[in-house]
Structure 1
Amino acid sequence: MSDSPTPQSPTPQSPTPLRCLLGAIVAAVLAYALYNMTSSIAISFATKPIDTDTTLIVQRISSAVRTLVLGMSAMGTGIFGLAALGLFALAIQLLFRKPDSSAN
């Protein structure tokens, strides 16, 4: 058998208002960056229409790819935006929570 020590899992840290606010700020910055990227993608797709002289299957595939790219970008924006709101709300909840007396 091996004499190597078994890896111990790190002890979970309880959330603090500061950690929640820092996480909310990071998520909000990412959401804002993705929002700007989504806007530029939408503008780029709107200014460059699909050629009408191509075959129907090419038009359908390019339309589907455009929809997929824009949808994934919008979904990332929404996910990070909701994460920022949730972390901010958790920070507020932790600020007003009474300290747990059983922890001592």
Structure 2
Amino acid sequence: MSVGVVVTLAACQDSGAKNRAAAIGDADVGATLIGRYGCGSCHEIPGIENARGLVGPPLDHMGRRIYLAGMLPNTPANMVQWLRDPQAIVPGNAMPDMGLSRREAADIAAYLFKLD
């Protein structure tokens, strides 16, 4: 799939978010990683036990959101990039570098894209 098609699909924010999630990574593994890395200490995350943090934004409806960090188009590639190195995108923001591998970030992104 070309980059233009992926961007177009993300921009439409269609009900295909769950299908895109499956193409990104393993959402079930992503849910486990979200718990392991403690993402819920900063974010409210539907479907994740005790994810009631109030530091960062709630992560509900991530599959339908237009932007990440208020500036990046919400595409799978951008979400993986944001999860892996948020400080490179918005220096000084509250999101820490969690040391995620590309695979881990893709699996977490798959879970978040399912939150339609």
Whether TM exceeds 0.5 here: the answer is no
Structure with higher Rg: it is 1
Structure holding more helix per residue? 1
Which structure has the higher relative contact order (CA within 8 Å, separation 6+)?
1
Which of the five TM-score ranges fits, normalised by the shorter chain? under 0.3
TM-score normalized by structure 2?
0.20
TM-score normalized by structure 1?
0.22
